[in-house]
Amino acid sequence: MIALITIPVAGSFAQTPKKKVIPVKKPATQAATAADIKEGEALMMKSDCFACHKVDVKLVGPAYKDVAKKYPATAANYTILAKKILAGGSGVWGQIPMAAHPQITQADATKMVKYILSLK
């Protein structure tokens, strides 16, 4: 009969050191506040936006409620759509181009988008 004997080696019963956990910070969200939405609506009323868009009916461009259905209210979409307001473009909603609006600031365009995407 053969017997196996195990001999503990120094340190084999020691606890392994705990790893330091560093919390990961999430990027700050750009959630639409009631003030942003109200200011965005006011900015749009002063602009030429309603010459081509209506809230719930397609005119030259898409209805704003249709835009809100297509794009969730996320920080990424606020940025993308604000850039479209500033640069203009075509192809997403048809071939009729949207005019560029370089006179609008990025911050104001973002507030306008926050208003549009609140129209669900």
Annotated binding site for heme c: which residue ranges?
Answer: 49, 53, 98
As annotated, the binding site includes: 49, 53, 98
Full pLDDT tens readout for the chain, 120 residues: 566 565 555 555 556 666 666 655 444 446 799 999 999 999 999 999 999 999 999 999 999 999 999 999 999 999 999 999 999 988 899 999 999 999 999 999 999 999 999 998
For the chain, the straight-line distance linking the first and the last C-alpha, in angstroms and rounded, comes to 80
Domains of the chain with bracketed CATH: 51-117 (1.10.760.10)
How far is residue 112's CA from residue 82's CA, in Å, rounded to a whole number? 8
Model pLDDT, residue 40: 97
pTM value?
0.74
Q: How far apart are CA 115 and CA 43, in angstroms?
A: 10
Torsion angle (degrees, nearest 10) of CA 79, 82, 88, 91? 60
